[in-house]
């Protein structure tokens, strides 16, 4: 008999192997950033990153099916993607059974220096496919205040406006939203280097919108551990895998340091 995976663990293994140990409907939300199949190596911040494991691609059809299986009914899932992989990822997720609701486009904290520098637009946004298994409505959160004063009626007979927004746009640009990625200054300051690192505060917004405190958030491609930190920021549990030993050690260390700091000083930001 296989044991259920432990909560608040990042396993150093292939995500597909971890899936095989996870019972149906075990996780409450999926928020994950798989490799897309390009080589990300660059000379960013004078700290060349080693090539990313799985850069030649994963079996996305199987990944989509397994993601659907382990997600509880009436729950949300977010999959990072890119414009050129989007049609394939979309089809795999749909075939797996997900209802695809939106593509979120979120401003990066830095503009990528790869690709055709003279003949293509700089990529300044992350894309995420937002899916549901069954149906779940968004939580009401205090993340964004409404511009209108609380209690104001836009017209006679309309509901009075609430203090906080209950509906978010699909494009997150501008100063009121956290950026999707950290820049090189943040990475140098925290000595956490990963070529595709995401901003934990941004991930924690998605977690607060789409899950309840204490629920289990899954990321099979933890990288530097941003999803684990984001789950803790939001008071949720996490579970995930990272295949690269060096990145896995980084993720486990980052998560345990964050937990220690939070225990000493209460809720903290990175
Ligand atoms: C796009 S990055 C994720 C970055 C992460 N969101 C962060 O903020 O640091 C994808 C990660 O998946 C890992 N990876 C690739 N194939 C994998 C597999 N089959 N199982 C688990 N991890 C894998 C890579 O080593 C890489 O660190």
Q: What domains appear along the chain, each with residue ranges and CATH number?
A: 9-265 (3.40.50.150)
The ligand 1 atom nearest the CA atom of 222:
5
Distance 111 CA to ligand 1 centre (A): 20
Tokens of 88: 């394939």
Predicted pLDDT at 82: 94
| Cβ of residue 112 lying under 6 Å from some atom of ligand 1 | no
Cβ atoms of 139 and 212 closer than 8 Å = yes
pLDDT at 155: 84
Q: How far from the centroid of its chain's Cα atoms is residue 169's Cα?
A: 17
**How far, in Å, from the CA of 142 to the mean position of ligand 1?**
31
Structural tokens at position 114: 């790869």
The per-residue pLDDT for 111 is 81
Each of the 270 residues of the chain gets a pLDDT tens digit; together they read 568 999 999 999 999 999 999 999 999 999 999 998 643 333 333 444 555 555 557 999 999 999 999 999 999 999 999 999 999 999 999 999 999 999 999 999 988 667 788 899 999 999 999 999 999 999 999 999 998 888 888 788 888 888 999 899 999 999 999 999 999 899 999 999 999 999 999 999 999 999 999 999 999 999 999 999 999 999 999 999 999 999 999 999 999 999 998 887 765 566
- 31, 219 Cβ separation under 8 angstroms: yes
Protein residue with least CA distance to atom 5, ligand 1: 223
Which run of H or of E encompasses 107? Answer: strand 99-107
Residue-level pLDDT at 37: 65
Q: What is the pLDDT of residue 264?
A: 78
Structure token digits, residue 171: 């494009």
What is the predicted pLDDT for the residue at 150?
85
- Rounded to the nearest angstrom, the gap between the alpha carbon of residue 77 and the centroid of all alpha carbons in its chain is 9
Reduce the DSSP state of residue 227 to 3 states and report it: helix
- The pLDDT score that the predictor gives to residue 56 is 58
Given this model, what pLDDT does residue 142 score?
A: 95
Structure confidence at residue 267 (pLDDT) = 58
Quote the pLDDT of residue 153. 86
C-alpha pair distances (Å), 9 with each of 154, 211, 221, 224: 48, 19, 13, 14
Do 237 and 214 form a contact (C-beta atoms < 8 A)?
yes
Q: How many CA atoms lie within 13 A of 156 on its CB side?
A: 0
Helix/strand/coil (H, E, C) string of 58-93? CCHHHHHHHHHHHEEEEEEEEEEECCCCHHHHHHHH
32: left (phi over 0), alpha (psi -120 to 50) or beta: beta
- Residue 85: CB within 6 Å of ligand 1? no
Helix (H, G, I), strand (E, B) or coil at 207: helix
To test the pocket of ligand 1, the residue of 12, 178, 182, 223 to mutate (highest count of ligand atoms within 8 Å of its CB) is 223
125-133/71-81 β-pairing: antiparallel
Instruction: Tell me which of 243, 250, 254 to substitute to probe ligand 1's pocket, judged by most ligand atoms within 8 Å of the beta carbon.
Output: 243
Ligand 1 centroid to 34 CA: how many Å?
A: 6
């Amino acid at each position: 008999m296989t044991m259920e995976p432990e909560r608040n663990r990042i396993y150093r293994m292939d995500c597909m192997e971890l899936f095989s140990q996870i019972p149906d409907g075990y996780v409450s939300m999926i928020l994950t950033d798989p490799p897309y199949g390009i080589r990300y190596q660059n000379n960013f911040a004078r700290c060349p990153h080693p090539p990313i494991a799985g850069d030649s691609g994963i079996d996305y059809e199987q990944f989509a099916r397994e993601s659907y299986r382990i997600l509880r009914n009436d729950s949300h899932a977010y999959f990072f993607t890119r414009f050129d992989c989007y049609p394939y990822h979309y089809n795999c997720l749909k075939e797996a059974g997900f209802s695809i609701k939106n593509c979120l486009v979120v401003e990066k904290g830095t503009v990528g220096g790869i690709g055709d520098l003279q003949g293509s637009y700089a990529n300044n946004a992350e894309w995420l496919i937002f899916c549901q298994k069954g149906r779940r409505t968004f939580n009401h959160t205090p993340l964004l205040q409404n511009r209108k004063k609380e209690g104001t009626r836009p017209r006679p007979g309309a509901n009075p406006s609430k203090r906080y927004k209950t509906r978010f746009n699909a494009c997150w640009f501008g100063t009121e939203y956290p950026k999707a990625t950290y820049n090189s200054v943040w990475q140098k300051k925290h000595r956490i280097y990963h070529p595709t690192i995401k901003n934990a505060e941004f991930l924690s917004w998605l977690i607060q919108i789409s899950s309840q405190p204490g629920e289990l958030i899954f990321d099979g491609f933890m990288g530097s551990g941003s999803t684990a930190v984001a789950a803790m920021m939001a008071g949720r549990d996490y579970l995930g895998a990272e295949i690269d030993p060096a990145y896995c050690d980084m993720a486990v260390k980052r998560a345990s340091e964050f937990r220690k700091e939070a225990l000493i000083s209460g809720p903290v930001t990175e």
